[in-house]
């Protein structure tokens, strides 16, 4: 039997662990978008943009020069996230707007203001959603997940914004 030097064995174990961690991180992290496209002159609405995938999407699109409308239900969180995106990208065309998809009144108000204030909308990213919440109800009395993830996202004024976007 060949004796392995304990230092070589230790280094080999550290190397294997490091390599496996890098491969696992790549696998779990998913793919990276290779496009370098800029979107100057394009207006993009991202719902649920104060955190998670929505915030990362707003950040990346702001980096690419778009006019970004971050639409969230909590204006405190929304303003903070918009400030962070402006700071990181130096794109000052990043705005926080109120939108609660659990309220048809809020959706109508949001769509009305957007159509009044924006010259054009190019992309609507209907990202916001709620999952595995307690048995809450929307303002209009629907079960929360059904109300936000299905009814809110597909409610007529949101559809209108989506049709306005090209
Ligand atoms: N993460 C995943 O692995 C995964 C997998 C498949 C699909 N998705 C989908 O990807 C999207 C984003 O996922 P995520 O992981 O980034 O979720 P997240 O971190 O939970 O973020 C969800 C966003 O939606 C907002 N939201 C919830 N209810 C809302 C309402 N009534 N009105 C307006 N905004 C509301 C949240 O606002 P608050 O911060 O105020 O709660 C938050 O900004 C979701 O549509 C999700 O279903 C995610």
Confidence (pLDDT) at 74: 98
Confidence (pLDDT) at 3: 77
Instruction: Give distance in angstroms: CA of 39 to centre of ligand 1.
Output: 24
Instruction: Give distance in angstroms: CA of 119 to centre of ligand 1.
Output: 28
Domains in the chain, ordered, with CATH? Answer: 1-32 (no CATH), 43-164 (3.40.50.720)
Instruction: Give distance in angstroms: CA of 96 to centre of ligand 1.
Output: 16
Q: What are the DSSP calls for 21-64, one per residue?
A: HHHHHHHHH----------TT-EEEEESTTSHHHHHHHHHHHHT
Whether 54 is in the pocket of ligand 1, judged by its Cβ within 6 Å, is yes
Confidence (pLDDT) at 18: 95
Rg (Cα) of the chain, in Å, rounded?
22
Residue among 52, 147, 157 to mutate when testing ligand 1 (max atoms within 8 A of CB): 52
DSSP 136: -
Q: What's the token pair of residue 139?
A: 């303002």
The pLDDT tens digits along the chain (166 residues) read: 667 788 889 999 999 999 999 999 888 888 788 899 999 999 999 999 999 999 999 999 999 999 999 999 999 999 999 999 999 999 999 999 999 999 999 999 999 999 999 999 999 999 999 999 999 999 999 999 999 999 988 887 777 777 776 5
Confidence (pLDDT) at 103: 96
């Amino acid at each position: 039997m060949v004796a392995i030097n304990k230092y070589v064995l230790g280094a080999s174990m550290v190397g294997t662990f490091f390599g496996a961690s890098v491969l696992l991180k790549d696998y779990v992290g998913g793919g990276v978008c290779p496009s370098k496209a800029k979107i100057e002159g394009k207006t993009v609405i991202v719902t649920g943009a104060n955190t998670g995938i929505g915030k990362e999407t707003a950040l990346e699109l702001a980096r690419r020069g778009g006019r970004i409308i971050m639409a969230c239900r909590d204006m405190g969180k929304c303003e903070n996230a918009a400030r962070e995106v402006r700071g990181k990208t130096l794109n000052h065309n990043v705005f926080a707007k109120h939108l609660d998809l659990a309220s048809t009144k809020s959706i109508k108000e949001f769509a009305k203001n957007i159509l009044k204030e924006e010259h054009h909308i190019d992309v609507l990213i209907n990202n916001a959603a709620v999952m595995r919440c307690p048995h809450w109800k929307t303002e209009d009395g629907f079960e929360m997940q059904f109300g936000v993830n299905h009814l809110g996202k597909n409610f007529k004024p949101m559809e209108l914004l989506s049709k306005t976007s090209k």
